[in-house]
Amino acid sequence: MKYLIVGLGNIGDEYSDTRHNIGFVVADALALEGKAVFKADRHAAMTRLSVKGRTMVVIKPSTFMNLSGKAVRYWMQKEDIPLENILVIVDDLALPLGVTRMRKKGSDGGHNGLISIIEYLQSSEFTRIRFGIGNDFSKGYQVDYVLGRWTTEETKVLLPRVKEAVDMIKSFVLTGPDRTMNLFNKRGEGKDSIPPANGAKDKNET
């Protein structure tokens, strides 16, 4: 069986280590653990790795965030991967920093990457890992926050949560979304997460 694992982000040094690129960070961590190397390919950097006989096609779209769906559709069709075997890792302002939640479907939540994927696939019924980046910004500064780089304090929280996201990906591939959600989502925020300063609600909950 084959699975398409999609880490969302923007290419270019100016976007490196920004909150919006957490999908790239998780994809890199997954590849590193599997000793796989990304190579530039059509619409994305791509690599392959396997876990217990199951193949993961891992991509980091090079189309920029608002055209992520173009890369997802291309690789889905090229590798003949069904919709239910797609997993997207996306940053989420509505979750506290470091909180990870898996969902089998849901709205775009105003996220340009998800908007594009839903448009290109004509479906919102694909699994995603929502990775909380918090919302510690003043009104009118959302873009600056999302495209800003992690602070030292945030990085300390980030590292173990990235590892947990990698574990969620492998669990999704081996056991499916339902068992993975039961195992990981119930863990909640965790003692080392930082709560949202502005009291954001979990608006994408489905």
Q: Is residue 198 part of a domain?
A: no
Total domains present in the chain = 1
Neighbouring-strand partners of residue 97:
194
Instruction: Enter the pTM of the model.
Output: 0.89
Residue 43 is a catalytic residue:
no
Q: Is residue 205 part of a domain?
A: no
Q: Is residue 204 part of a domain?
A: no
Q: Is residue 198's pLDDT more than 70?
A: no
pLDDT, residue 192, reads: 47
pLDDT, residue 201, reads: 39
Q: Is residue 89 part of a domain?
A: yes
pLDDT, residue 188, reads: 52
Q: Is residue 185's pLDDT more than 70?
A: yes
9-18, 54-63, 80-89, 114-123: least confident range: 9-18
Segments in the chain forming alpha helices (H): 22-33, 68-78, 112-121, 142-146, 152-175, 177-184
Q: Is residue 102 part of a domain?
A: yes
pLDDT, residue 193, reads: 46
Q: Residue 178: left (phi > 0), alpha (psi -120 to 50), or beta?
A: alpha
Q: Is residue 199 part of a domain?
A: no
Separation of alpha carbons 14 and 157, rounded Å: 22
Mean pLDDT value across residues 118-130: 97
Separation of alpha carbons 90 and 6, rounded Å: 9
pLDDT tens for 49-104 read 999 999 999 999 999 999 999 999 999 999 999 999 999 999 999 999 999 999 99
Q: Is residue 84 part of a domain?
A: yes
Q: Is residue 205's pLDDT more than 90?
A: no
- 29 burial via Cβ count (<10 Å: 0-12, 13-18, 19+): middle
Give me the CATH number covering residue 40. Answer: 3.40.50.1470
Q: Is residue 206 part of a domain?
A: no
Q: Which of 20, 101, 128, 170 is catalytic?
A: 20
pLDDT > 70 in the chain, percent: 90
Q: Domain range for residue 118?
A: 2-187
